[in-house]
Structure 1
Amino acid sequence: LRKRREITGLFTFYSADYPQYELKIDNDLAMQKGITIGNAMNTLSIMVGSTYELGFIKYQRFFKVYVQAEPSYRRLPEDVLNMWAKNDKGEMVPFSAFMKIVKSQGANEINRYNMYTTASIRGGAATGFSSGEAIKAVQEVAAKTLPRGYDIDWGGLSKDEVGRGNEAVYIFLVVLAFVYLVLAAQYESFLLPLAVIFSLPAGIFGSFLLIKTMGLANDIYAQVGLVMLVGLLGKNAVLIIEFAVQEHEKGMSVRDAAIAGAKARFRPILMTSFAFIAGLVPLVIATGAGAIGNRTIGTAALGGMLFGTVFGVIIVPGLYYVFGSLAEGHKLIQDENEYPISEGVEPRVVLEEMEPYA
């Protein structure tokens, strides 16, 4: 893992060469002596460790009684072999009769995760790489180097990220589809909303470009900035297209309506967009606690807004001209009355004078 550029700050408490003593029990000798392994281990746990037996009150104080061997009898590893255990006949048998001590090396501690023996490794994404790229690098290294029967699992936020996978991509596509349907209902056309949708990639490209230039990661903060960015850029595109649609309904050609919409909305879009960009500057140069999150969300929004505004005022009228020309003469609903009686027409009541009956 240290050879991969996507990961940094790797460390682990796991050590396989920690010096230790291993107790080896000869089961056959233990059975001959009438010793059960459970009884022997319980005795060893009490003598080397301790066990709470009872408590009593004296002088208005509570005293606890622990059973444990004297320190002088458990000072050295070899002292374990000098301890005794009782067999099934009530006789005392030394541990040295069925046990021996061997020096070895192994793990300094044994951790378990979901009942499996584990070794915990911690790390993070290197500068310029996202957490998703770091996770993918770990998975690639594990697939190449781990022997059969070994696997990896995740903890904390990484576990949630791996479990959800590319869920954010699907959510983003659903949002785009929902926006498209709303615009289709507003413009009464399946083609005009595409002018808004296809104007967004310019801003998204600018967002990722500035994030990459600043050496930041595409994390949850950047994705929040993208969601905000899509709404703002879509609003700018809607302003131009809405005005162009109104001018086209008044009799202008699609080309002239696109030019008129771009001219009319050029100054308002630049004023609001650059005011928003100026407000993002403190986030981009933020320092102190939480600076990375502030810089990421600010950079994502600033880069996308800058590119989306500069290129959007040129791209959106062109897209409207393309899709407006395709949509000209086509209606969302066939044989629709453009001027229904309930809109713009006042109801009239006609009174006629009739001759009275004879």
Structure 2
Amino acid sequence: DAASVTRTREVVEKIERIALETEGVKHTVAIAGQSILLNANASNFGALYLMLDDFDNRTRPELSGDAIAAALQDRLAQEIPEAVVNIFAAPPVEGLGTAGGFKIILQDLGDNGLPRLQRIADRIVAAGQSDPHLQGVFSSFRADTPWLELIIDRTQAKDRGVSIDDIRTELESTIGPYYINDFNLFGRTWQVNVQAYYTYRQSIDDLKQLKIRNNQGDMVPLADFASMRFVSGPVFVMRYNMYPAAAIHADAGPDTSSGQAIEHLYQAAEEQLPQSMRTEWTELALLQLQTGNTAMWVFLLAVVLVFLVLAAQYESWSLPLAVILVVPMCLLCAITGVILARMDVNIFTQIGFLVLVGLACKNAILIVEYAKAQREAGKERKQATLAACQLRLRPIIMTSFAFILGVVPLMVSEGAGAEMRRTLGIAVFAGMLGVTLFGIFLTPVFYYVIQWFKDRRPVRLPDLDDDWRAVEHAVSHSNGQAHTVEYETAAVTTRQSS
């Protein structure tokens, strides 16, 4: 803590050399004195961007992004003991955070003080590091870094005609940098900042020799009305919802989804929190928690929409059930395939589930539609079902396996975004394979059983009294003229003349 920028730059350059020696790393960009992750400036902060080689040159598993990061993390931990180095991937959504993983904010609601806030944050980090479902858990919050406190005797400064604003301006322009203005040159806007040369701001004695102009135009030494001492304090004070806060960063461990990792970090934090502190999520984790189970509701609405469309097409509430009942088998096969491939259920697999709803119903519609037509043509229930199976088997097999073979390239894809295409491909491949193998057997059974229940319902015959009243009404409006009215109900024909 509180290392000089020169020392930080030397460590950053050493890390940069090690990174460039790592196979798979193409370029680096180093920044000393600034933390991109915390969006803060400090002399002991540093940031290093790693640009990896092209995907065509990193086909081996040990040259993947995660493998390079893990190997580089282990090497830096051994060769750079004077610094704490953490490696993060790029943010999954540009603009939401500055690095991958997720962030939880520890807030001090009871004004317990910054040292206690750091102790609680360190305990949460220790609990998270012991959890195998989490990795890269750390916090950059420090409450006891060395400070140089300037004590100004305002009475003596006023007696010498020196204003507090002039003291601030002098210190800022010396230790700096102090912003002056902007100017345009070569089509760009440049800032003008002033700062004393580093040899004139090395020690306390250098600062005591500073002179401030008073209201009479004389130069007054800073040491005449100010003293300095070393104290401890935070690197920077972070506030969240107006409360003192500390940020804790983490990432999901192996074979752990982001939702599971968020839950584990939350449990680790709750076990260490006193009553006067609380935690809140931010950035991408906050949006994920706000979304909640939206995907489940979207899926249910998609199934309901398909059911309503089929009900309107068949003009029946029972026949669409023969089509919809195959959807659970389709999803079961898709989830089984994702689990066997040791992948998680993410947004891409959920998109695949929505696609499978339509694909599964497509195969069932081919059977139910023809069986319904055969049933209306006068065939018995069993004969109509068997005829639909025999006629529709070939198109179902052809279209299904054409789609299944079409998603094979997604399953074996490599290069940029391969992990996204693989999860989507495996979910759709396994789901479509399952619905093809099981659907051709279960859909006829569903149709036969539902049609059997439908046939068992008694058929309501027309009311003959209502029919005779309609005939009498027609006769009464004939104005005495002779007409012949024919009315047919069931198999009975009646004739009446007047």
TM-score by length of 2: 0.56
Q: Distance in 1 between matches of 2:428 and 2:192?
A: 67
Q: Is 1:302 matched up with 2:429?
A: yes
2:230 to 99, 102, 110: 102
Report how far residue 277 of structure 1 moved. 1.6
The residue correspondences of 1:81-230 to structure 2 (distance < 5 A) are 81-85=208-212, 92=220, 94-95=222-223, 97-104=225-232, 106-107=234-235, 121-147=248-274, 148-156=276-284, 158-230=285-357
Q: Does 1:266 align with 2:393?
A: yes
SS of 1:226's partner is helix
> Unpaired runs of 5+ in structure 1?
56-63, 336-358
Structure 2 contact 349–427 (Cα < 8 Å) conserved: yes
Corresponding position: 1:42 with 2:166: no
Residue 122 of structure 2 is matched in structure 1 by: none
* Contact 1:180-1:193 at 8 Å conserved across structures: yes
- Residue type at the aligned position of 2:359: L
* Counterpart residue identity of residue 149, structure 2: L
Residue 418 (structure 2) aligns with: 291
Provide, for residues 169-218 of structure 1, a one-character-per-residue CA deviation record: whole Å limited to 9, x for no partner.
22212211111111111122112212221211111011111111111121
Residue 405 of structure 2 is aligned with which of 272, 278, 299? 278
TM superposition shift of 1:53: 6.0
Counterpart amino acid of 1:153?
Answer: W
Q: Distance in 2 between matches of 1:289 and 1:18?
A: 43
Select which of 140, 147, 154 maps to 1:30. Answer: 154
**Larger RCO: 1 or 2 (CA < 8 Å, sep 6+):** 1
Contact 2:307/2:324 (<8 A) preserved: yes
Distance 2:313 2:399 in 1: 24
TM (norm. structure 1) is 0.75
The question of whether the paired residues in 2 share the 8 Å contact of 1:85 and 1:95 is answered with no
Task: Establish whether residue 253 from structure 1 lines up as the match of residue 380 from structure 2.
Answer: yes
Q: Is the 8 A contact 1:127 1:215 kept in 2?
A: no
Relative to 1, partners in 2 of residues 1:149 and 1:11: Cα closer, same or farther, differing over 3 Å?
Answer: closer
Structure 1's 174 and 133: CA in aligned 2 closer, same or farther, altered over 3 A?
same
Distance in structure 1 (CA, Å) of the matches to 2:192 and 2:455: 95
Q: Deviations over 1:50-105 (max 9, x none)?
A: 546699xxxxxxxx997654644322144324434467787736347443221436
Do 2:178 and 2:195's aligned partners in 1 also have CA atoms closer than 8 Å? yes
Q: Distance in 1 between matches of 2:413 and 2:338?
A: 15
Q: Secondary structure at the match of 1:79?
A: helix
* Structure-2 change in CA distance of 1:317 and 1:77 (3 Å): farther
Task: Go from structure 1 to structure 2 and tell me whether the alpha carbon gap of 1:54 and 1:321 turns closer, same or farther (over 3 Å shift).
Answer: closer
How far apart in 2 are the matches of 1:330 and 1:187? 18
State the identity %.
Answer: 33
Match of 1:289, SS state, is coil
Bigger drift between 168-177 and 120-129 goes to 120-129
Aligned residues: 321
Aligned to 1:353: none
Map of 1:61 onto structure 2:
none
Which of 16, 39, 43 is the aligned partner of 2:142? Answer: 16
Q: Deviation digits for residues 89-144 of structure 1, max 9, x if unmatched?
A: 8773634744322143643x566677776655555434433333333333333433
Q: Structure 2: how far apart are the matches of 1:150 and 1:96?
A: 46
State the distance in 2 between where 1:171 and 1:67 align.
57
Aligned equivalents of 1:224 and 1:195: distance in 2?
24
- Whichever structure has more strand as a proportion of its residues is 2
Measured in 2, the distance between the counterparts of 1:235 and 1:77 equals 80
Matched residue SS, 2:328: helix
CA RMSD of superposed structures (Å): 3.5
